[in-house]
Amino acid sequence: MEKQHLFIDFEFTMPEKSSKFKGFYPEIIEVGIVAVVGDSIREQFSSYVVPRKFSTLSRRCKSFLHISQEQVNNGISLYDLMKKLETICGGYQNIIVTWGNMDMKVLKDNCQKAQLPFIVSCKEVDLSMEYKRFFGDKNQTGLWKAVREYGREGTGKHHRALDDALTTYHIFRLVEQDKKYMGKSNQPTIGDLIDMSKLLNKFA
């Protein structure tokens, strides 16, 4: 079965100090998915998602994410999001790549609370931890800080789900290129195998 990488980013609801948010838990309100097979983007998907429990967005959430209540109200349901994810995954050996571990935790928690089965079969990769291990950083780096450390800019706007998913894909490609380069640099070169000074003296 052919391998497919799914670069996924979600934006979540945020609470405010109010009795309205008692028992609050984060819910997905925007999704961005970039499906990659080989070196090509096979599909991109972006949508707002209607939260079930706390349907009214807090002022903090709207201000921080620049998402309006109307946009979210016109989004798809969590059920439709899961159906879309299952469709994209169908027929492939899937690896879901996210920046940080919150995205998949919140998705699974939302499904559990909505009593929706999580039947997507996939391997999950937290690229922020891969990045941390690869570069030996003590602290986890933010997504857009990481891309700037590569001397690049993120795609589109930070905290827009599809833009962040595309930026995660770009960092993944850069890290994979560096891994290949580091792997090659560990191979002995012709200079390592031959003592050039002895060779030159022989022909002097």
Residue range of the domain that includes 134: 3-203
Beta strands in the chain (DSSP E): 3-12, 28-37, 40-48, 93-98, 122-126
13-70 pLDDT, tens digit per residue, is 999 888 888 999 999 999 999 999 998 999 999 999 999 999 999 999 999 999 999 9
Could you give phi then psi for residue 35, rounded to 5 degrees? -95, 125
**Residue 129, SS3 per DSSP:** helix
The CATH number of residue 53's host domain is: 3.30.420.10
159 is catalytic: yes
For 57-112, what is each residue's pLDDT tens digit?
999 999 999 999 999 999 999 999 999 999 999 999 999 999 999 999 999 999 99
Catalytic residue among 124, 130, 149, 159: 159
Q: Which two tokens stand for residue 4?
A: 């497919």
* pLDDT tens sequence across 120-162: 889 999 999 888 887 766 666 777 677 777 666 555 566 689 9
Total domains in the chain come to 1
Tokens 């949508």 appear where? 47
Token reading at 70: 């109307």
Please, what is the Cα angle at 83 between 30 and 167, to 5 degrees?
Answer: 40
158 in catalytic set: no
Q: Which of 5, 11, 27, 30 is catalytic?
A: 11
Nearest to 11 by CA among 67, 88, 78, 53: 67
- 104 CB-near residues (< 8 Å, 6+ apart): 8, 96, 98, 124
